[in-house]
Amino acid sequence: MPVSSDAETADEAADPEAQQGLPVNELFYSLQGEGKLAGMPSVFVRTSGCNLRCWFCDSYHTSWEPTHAWLDIDAIIDRVTGHDEAEHVVITGGEPLLHQETAELLDRLSAAGFHTTVETNGTIYRDTAIDLASISPKLANSTPTTAKDPRGEGEWADRHENRRVDIDALCQLIETYDFQLKFVVTGCDDMPEINQLVERLRDAAATTIRDSDVLLMPEGATRERLAETRELTAEVAMEHGYQYTPRLHVDLWNDAPET
Ligand code: SF4
């Protein structure tokens, strides 16, 4: 169900009267495309707003140019439960944990019997009902330098770089919830940084991080781009003993919205 079809712009949404509930970019039923639950029928609630600006962001309208409708928690629950075939709900973004209301939504969904996955960049921790924290720490390859910035400005490069890894928040998420660490791979050059971050977290976190908790995902929001990145990602996954994760939704539906 498109929530954003008559969505406000971010500027319109800045009206304090409008800011009730959560800014929702889209709410739809599909298959989970990535990670340990790939293939699972799920309702997706995509919140708008992100504290980072990856140049390759595949949800551009939640980060670079956010659009959304404001929905209160009751309205979101009504729309989710309207998909009575689904047992899994994925709260994604943007960065869904930016919003305090996301915690209330997760608590209510869990109480209603849903399995909840949160897709997060790992820079924010909240105490709530998460069955799977799908944590995607952002590597240096994500920074929107002037050359890579989709708007060609480079104004977010420093802020993004300073915020993209928060070891304390990552440890809290890992120690509190079942988790997967999902890294977007653009090339073999990313592996030293991934290995280094995994080792930092193994040293810092009280929870064991198994190689099978580390997922490598090819960068690419279109079939054409995935064709360039998935083979090398599969090869480095085998080489390092990490798990490869596909992007099933791209394989199935390319870059169609609400997939
Ligand atoms: S953290 Fe996720 S939502 Fe935010 S800019 Fe990066 S890819 Fe987009």
Domain chopping of the chain, boundaries:
4-180+202-212
Distance CA 186, CA 229 (A): 6
Q: Quick one: pLDDT at residue 239?
A: 96
Which residues touch 16 (CB under 8 Å, ≥6 apart)? none
Distance CA 47, CA 213 (A): 25
Residue closest by Cα to atom 7 of ligand 1 = 57
Q: Quick one: pLDDT at residue 13?
A: 39
Distance CA 12, CA 108 (A): 28
Q: Indicate the helix (H) or strand (E) that contains 75.
A: helix 73-81
Query: If you measure from the C-alpha of residue 196 to the centroid of ligand 1, how many angstroms do you get, rounded to a whole number?
Result: 21
Least trusted range by pLDDT, from 90-94, 162-166, 216-220:
216-220
* Residue range 14-19: mean pLDDT, rounded: 48
Which has the closest alpha carbon to 23: 37, 39, 12, 35?
A: 12
Distance CA 17, CA 48 (A): 17
Percent of the chain whose predicted confidence (pLDDT) is above 70? 93
The verdict on the CB of residue 95 being under 6 Å from ligand 1 is yes
Q: Quick one: pLDDT at residue 79?
A: 97
Please give the CATH number for the structural domain made up of 4-180+202-212.
3.20.20
Cβ proximity of 58 and 241 under 8 Å: no
Query: If you measure from the C-alpha of residue 127 to the centroid of ligand 1, how many angstroms do you get, rounded to a whole number?
Result: 21
Least trusted range by pLDDT, from 115-119, 150-154, 199-203:
150-154
Distance CA 198, CA 110 (A): 30
The verdict on the CB of residue 62 being under 6 Å from ligand 1 is yes
The verdict on the CB of residue 98 being under 6 Å from ligand 1 is no
Cβ proximity of 187 and 232 under 8 Å: yes
Torsion of CA 222, 223, 227, 229, to 10 degrees: 30
Q: Quick one: pLDDT at residue 58?
A: 86
Asked if the model's pLDDT at residue 18 lies above 60, the reply is no
Q: Regarding predicted confidence, which is higher, 108 or 9?
A: 108
- Across the chain, the runs of DSSP E, i.e. the strands, are 8-9, 22-31, 41-47, 67-71, 88-92, 115-120, 132-135, 179-185, 214-218, 243-244
Q: Quick one: pLDDT at residue 17?
A: 45
The verdict on the CB of residue 50 being under 6 Å from ligand 1 is yes
Choosing from 26, 47, 48, 53 the residue with most ligand 1 atoms within 8 A of its CB, the one to mutate for a pocket test is 53
The reply to whether 58 sits in an annotated binding site is yes
Beta bridge partners of 29: 43
The reply to whether 207 sits in an annotated binding site is no
Angle, helices 223-240 vs 191-204, to 10°: value is 60
Angle, helices 73-81 vs 100-111, to 10°: value is 40
Query: If you measure from the C-alpha of residue 94 to the centroid of ligand 1, how many angstroms do you get, rounded to a whole number?
Result: 6
CA-based end-to-end distance of the chain: 11
pLDDT band at 156 (very low <50, low <70, confident <90, very high): very high
pLDDT band at 10 (very low <50, low <70, confident <90, very high): very low
The verdict on the CB of residue 63 being under 6 Å from ligand 1 is yes
pLDDT band at 48 (very low <50, low <70, confident <90, very high): very high
